[in-house]
């Protein structure tokens, strides 16, 4: 079984979409093996998104991720990383396929409702950034 990391972002939490996103996750055969609701700080968001530090959107991204609570998840499934990215849809909701979370729930490119790891090494970093091993219960 493969694990991946997911975030239900502040824009989706604010619009009370947690349950709908979780329902879709489970309907697609993922097991939620850890979950918590937190409010990120700027230093935590900057550390998490450090790979984008030199990108022009970095400051806006980290600020928006601190704009309200997020739900952090560890998901498990065969091929979890690829399957979660497919369920999320394209980063830009205007380009996302019908039936994806971003097509259905995202407001804009900046408020695209969900995040997911893009590779196995990214998943390892992102999961360990927010979860201790004792919080992950397969």
Q: Is 52 a known active-site residue? A: no
137: pLDDT confidence band, cut at 50, 70 and 90? confident
115, 116, 126, 130: the catalytic one is 115
**What's the rounded Cα separation, in Å, for the pair 10 and 67?**
6
The pLDDT mean for the chain works out to 95
d(CA 22, CA 31): 10
pLDDT of 57-103, one tens digit each?
Answer: 899 999 999 999 999 999 999 999 999 999 999 989 999 999 999 99
Distance CA 104, CA 129 (A): 28
Tokens of 37: 């609701």
pLDDT digits (tens, 9 = 90+) for 114-127: 999 999 999 999 99
């Amino acid at each position: 079984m493969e694990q991946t990391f997911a975030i239900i972002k502040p824009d989706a939490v604010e619009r009370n979409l947690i349950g709908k996103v979780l329902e879709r996750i489970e309907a697609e055969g993922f097991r939620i093996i850890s979950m918590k609701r937190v409010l990120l700080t700027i230093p935590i968001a900057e550390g998490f998104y450090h790979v984008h530090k030199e990108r022009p959107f970095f400051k806006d991204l980290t600020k928006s991720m601190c704009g309200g609570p997020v739900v952090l998840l560890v998901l498990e499934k065969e091929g979890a990383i690829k399957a979660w990215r497919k369920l999320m849809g394209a980063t830009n909701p205007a380009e996302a396929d019908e039936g994806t979370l971003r097509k259905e729930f995202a407001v804009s490119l900046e408020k695209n409702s969900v995040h997911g790891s893009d590779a196995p090494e990214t998943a390892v970093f992102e999961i360990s950034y927010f979860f201790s091993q004792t919080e992950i219960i397969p």
